[in-house]
């Protein structure tokens, strides 16, 4: 099936200014040459440590951050053309669920106004139809229609996130970007919201770009995983492959950091030093300054994301990919029990 979303060599840089005249002296390379696809109805998990560019990537796809270069195609059509009047029909096809349910809803608007605002902007309903449309949307996310005329401050975090989901699916999008959509919720509520997202994916044929730190959540909801480090993709593949037997050294360290109760024998991969700055990334491989397998050659060559074996859908960006493939089964043994 042709991809729904195609990201090709996407770069999002933020200028660093200095002096009275705000002269640009450098750039923060938040996203620096990312490429991957999302198929219709597929859930892709985007993982990585804080500051690696996950949220910036999601906001760039949504059009909330300007891209420096690269292509974003939705159904083969360039997303976010330069003329503003051409973006209105595209906004209906891509929506976002934000991380913080306490700040992503307008406190001055009622729930009815919040969930139907997009429908009015897209001219999908008339003003007199707001009540019926809001009732239908709230029922889809498991809330009672009696809350239509209440305000966001009257609800818990889990209820607010359900309202955010109702707002996102109101215009019947094809792609929903979930930016840490369940990280601010209690564990029990988190499971309910995840199951709701899975049900909506089936009923509306939604595709998700699911951004999260929680690898257990990614394991539960995503069919494919993209691992980012310092603005670039270092590994991608099915969730079972990447999470059970990670190949890239950074993926191993990231997954080994998942706490496992009552497990003292499992060996963790401890990375040395702190992550470099996105404004001055290391030459060659971005991960070489912290990689336990780094060679002098890693400083001179920029690794390309390529299949780990010929014809494989799993890809890794490492010049030692032939060697790390041999150790991926060893990594699987070390990580045994992380997701059990």
Question: What length is written for the chain?
Answer: 340
Q: Check whether residue 74 and residue 30 sit in a common domain.
A: yes
Q: Per mean pLDDT, which range of 2-11, 56-65, 311-320 is the poorest?
A: 311-320
Q: Is 242 among the domain residues? A: no
Residue range(s) defining the domain that contains residue 191: 5-222
| Residues pairing with 78 in the sheet | 73
Q: Check whether residue 30 and residue 81 sit in a common domain.
A: yes
CATH number, domain of 66, equals 3.40.50.300
Q: Check whether residue 259 and residue 110 sit in a common domain.
A: no
The phi and psi torsions of 259 (rounded to 5 degrees) equal: -70, 140
Question: What is residue 196's predicted lDDT score, i.e. its pLDDT?
Answer: 94
Question: What is residue 88's predicted lDDT score, i.e. its pLDDT?
Answer: 76
Question: What is residue 325's predicted lDDT score, i.e. its pLDDT?
Answer: 67
Which residues lie below 8 Å from residue 279, measured CB to CB, with a gap of 6+?
16, 26, 27, 28, 29
Q: Is 256 among the domain residues? A: yes
Mean pLDDT, rounded, for 282-296: 90
Question: What is residue 329's predicted lDDT score, i.e. its pLDDT?
Answer: 53
Burial of 339 (0-12, 13-18, 19+ CB in 10 A): middle
Question: What is residue 60's predicted lDDT score, i.e. its pLDDT?
Answer: 94
* Residue 45 near residue 239 (C-beta atoms within 8 A): yes
Which residues lie below 8 Å from residue 172, measured CB to CB, with a gap of 6+?
92, 204
pLDDT tens-place string over residues 207-253 = 999 999 889 899 999 999 999 999 999 999 999 999 988 999 999 99
pLDDT tens-place string over residues 138-169 = 999 999 999 999 999 999 989 999 999 999 99
Rounded Cα–Cα distance for residues 295 and 101 (Å): 45
Q: Is 232 among the domain residues? A: no
Q: Is the model more confident about 323 or about 190?
A: 190
Q: Is 235 among the domain residues? A: no
Rounded Cα–Cα distance for residues 130 and 114 (Å): 10
| Residues pairing with 12 in the sheet | 31
Q: Check whether residue 87 and residue 134 sit in a common domain.
A: yes
pLDDT tens-place string over residues 179-194 = 999 888 888 889 999 9
- In a 13 Å sphere around the CA of 235, the CA atoms on its Cβ side amount to 29
How many domains is the chain partitioned into structurally?
A: 2
Question: What is residue 56's predicted lDDT score, i.e. its pLDDT?
Answer: 95
Question: What is residue 87's predicted lDDT score, i.e. its pLDDT?
Answer: 74
pLDDT band at 323; cut points 50, 70, 90 = confident
Question: What is residue 256's predicted lDDT score, i.e. its pLDDT?
Answer: 85
Q: Is 25 among the domain residues? A: yes
Q: Check whether residue 41 and residue 135 sit in a common domain.
A: yes
pLDDT tens-place string over residues 21-72 = 889 888 999 999 999 999 999 999 999 988 899 999 999 999 899 999 999 9
Q: Is the model more confident about 114 or about 322?
A: 114
- Quick check: pTM over 0.75? yes
Question: What is residue 331's predicted lDDT score, i.e. its pLDDT?
Answer: 54
Q: Is 339 among the domain residues? A: no
pLDDT tens-place string over residues 84-125 = 666 777 888 999 999 888 888 999 999 999 999 999 988 899
End-of-domain residue from the set 222, 238, 257: 222
pLDDT band at 261; cut points 50, 70, 90 = low
Q: Check whether residue 87 and residue 33 sit in a common domain.
A: yes
Q: Check whether residue 197 and residue 108 sit in a common domain.
A: yes
Q: Is 317 among the domain residues? A: yes
């Amino acid at each position: 099936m042709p991809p729904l979303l195609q990201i090709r060599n996407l770069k999002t840089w933020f200028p660093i200014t200095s002096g009275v005249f705000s002269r640009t002296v450098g750039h923060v390379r938040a996203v620096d040459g990312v490429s991957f696809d999302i198929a219709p109805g597929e859930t892709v998990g985007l993982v990585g440590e804080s500051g690696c560019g996950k949220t910036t990537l999601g906001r760039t796809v949504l059009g909330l951050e300007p891209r420096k270069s690269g292509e974003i195609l939705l159904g083969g059509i360039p997303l976010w053309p330069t003329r503003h009047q051409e973006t209105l029909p595209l906004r209906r096809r891509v929506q976002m669920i934000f991380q913080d349910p306490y700040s992503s809803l307008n406190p001055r608007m009622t729930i009815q106004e919040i969930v139907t605002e997009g429908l009015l902007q897209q001219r999908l309903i008339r003003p007199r139809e707001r009540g019926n449309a809001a009732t239908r949307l709230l029922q889809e996310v498991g809330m009672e229609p009696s809350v239509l005329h209440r305000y966001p401050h009257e609800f818990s975090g889990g209820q607010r996130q359900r309202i955010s989901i109702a707002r996102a699916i109101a215009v019947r999008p094809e792609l929903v970007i979930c930016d840490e959509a369940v990280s601010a919720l209690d564990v029990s509520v988190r499971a309910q919201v995840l199951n709701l997202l899975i049900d909506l994916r089936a009923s509306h044929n939604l595709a998700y770009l699911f951004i999260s730190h929680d690898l257990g959540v990614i394991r539960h909801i995503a069919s494919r995983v993209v691992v980012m480090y310092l603005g670039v993709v270092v590994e991608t593949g099915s969730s079972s492959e990447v999470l059970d037997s990670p190949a890239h050294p950074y993926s191993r360290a990231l997954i080994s950091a998942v706490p496992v109760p009552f497990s003292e024998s499992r060996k963790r991969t401890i990375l040395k030093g702190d992550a470099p700055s996105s404004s001055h990334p290391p030459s060659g491989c971005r991960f070489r300054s912290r990689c336990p397998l780094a060679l002098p050659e890693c400083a001179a060559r920029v690794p390309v994301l390529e299949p780990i074996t010929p014809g494989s859908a799993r890809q890794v960006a490492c010049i030692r990919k032939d060697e790390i493939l041999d150790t991926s089964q060893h990594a699987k043994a070390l990580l045994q029990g992380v997701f059990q």
